Amino acid sequence: MNRFDRITAILIQLQSRKIVKAQDLAERFEISLRTVYRDINSLAEAGVPIIGEAGVGYSIMDGYRLPPVMFTKEEARTFITAEKLMEKFTDFSTQSHYQAAMYKIKAVLRSTEKSMVENLENHIEVRSRPRAFHQPNSNTLDILLNSISERKIAKILYVALSASEPVERVIEPVGIYHENNYWYTIAFCHLRNDYRNFRSDRILQCDVTDRPFQHKHAPLKDFMHDSWENDNMRLVRVRVNKRVARYIREQRSYYGFASETEHDDYIEMTFLSASLEGFARWYMMIAPEACIMEPEALKTIVRQLSEKILENLNH
């Protein structure tokens, strides 16, 4: 990236955030701190009212507005890809907000970029996946994000996997993440007095209350790496015939795949499973070409399922 493009990108980043640290700019553009200082000075000399505070970072003076940013063709193409993903992977309210933002972005595109974007819209599709929310017009994601940004307690009606009836939960969402076609929120649950994981399609109703958070929470990334999420995980080891193993490489990630070791005619796979029964039902599909090494409890569940199948066949 040449210096002009870099300085322009720095200006855009300053507009997009309240405070920007010099170290963050150095890491993003792979330049030295000295170069960052020189680029910031160039912007200041050009008339951009930059405020710098030692130990804090840089910001642009409130009220300062710049003309609309011009996008390259490559950047414009990414908007369409993102728009298609938003249509399939987010809730109704978030889709609407994003579509409104896209209209504003398209409004500042040059004529050539507008034509390219309109043409490209008909050439990108995202296939439908299992429904990530209880209802097609759900606003769950938007409500959770509102709860997080406003630091207000949320109230949800939730059906746990092991429950038959929904239970009202009062929660303090820490953050949301997407995994295996579903959205999840990690939140402090007042009912359990501990942090819990809630899956979006099991949230039947979601509302933000006027009550502020009662706890101070660590960033989401700290929870993603913590071991609390694995407290109820069971170690599973299976051997799978190489001929079959290649067909389950995508599926296995949904069942807690952790690692594998290749041998002459089979592959030994290790999983961390939150539900042995759920794992057993998936395992039944590959059972003729696989064997369970551990745990014994999984073998027992598979036997019970097999006996049930035989019983049903004899009826």
CA 311, distance to chain mean position in Å, is: 43
Q: Check residue 152 and give its pLDDT.
A: 96
User: pLDDT at residue 73 above 90?
Assistant: no
Q: Check residue 14 and give its pLDDT.
A: 86
Q: Which residues, 6+ apart, have CB-to-CB distance to 266 below 8 Å? A: 239, 240, 241, 242, 245
- Where b means 16+ CB within 10 Å and e means fewer, 127-163 reads eeeeebbbeeebbbbbbbbbbbeeebbbbbebbeeee
Q: Check residue 68 and give its pLDDT.
A: 59
pLDDT digits (tens, 9 = 90+) for 260-315: 998 988 999 999 887 899 999 999 999 999 999 999 999 999 999 999 998 888 87
- Split at pLDDT 50, 70, 90, the class of 228 is very low
Could you give the count of Cα atoms lying within 13 Å of 218 in the half-sphere of its Cβ? 7
Give CA–CA dist 297/300, Å, rounded.
5
Q: Which residue has the tokens 């660590």?
A: 218
Q: Which residue has the tokens 């414009």?
A: 76
- DSSP class of residue 55 equals T
Q: Check residue 136 and give its pLDDT.
A: 66
Give CA–CA dist 145/209, Å, rounded.
13
pLDDT digits (tens, 9 = 90+) for 162-193: 777 899 999 999 999 988 778 899 999 999 99
Which is higher by pLDDT, 314 or 196?
196
Give CA–CA dist 39/33, Å, rounded.
10
User: pLDDT at residue 195 above 60?
Assistant: yes
Q: Do 214 and 153 form a contact (C-beta atoms < 8 A)?
A: yes
Identity of the amino acid at 81: T
- DSSP class of residue 13 equals H
Q: Check residue 67 and give its pLDDT.
A: 61
The pLDDT mean for the chain works out to: 86
Average pLDDT over residues 233-246: 90
Q: Check residue 227 and give its pLDDT.
A: 43
Q: Check residue 275 and give its pLDDT.
A: 85
- Split at pLDDT 50, 70, 90, the class of 101 is confident
Phi, psi of 117 (to 5 degrees): -65, -45
Give CA–CA dist 111/115, Å, rounded.
6
Alpha helices in the chain (DSSP H): 3-16, 22-29, 33-45, 73-89, 92-107, 111-120, 140-150, 220-225, 242-245, 276-283, 296-313
DSSP states along 204-226: EEEEEEEEEPSS----HHHHHHS
Average pLDDT over residues 42-57: 88
pLDDT digits (tens, 9 = 90+) for 137-170: 688 999 999 999 999 999 999 998 777 789 999 9
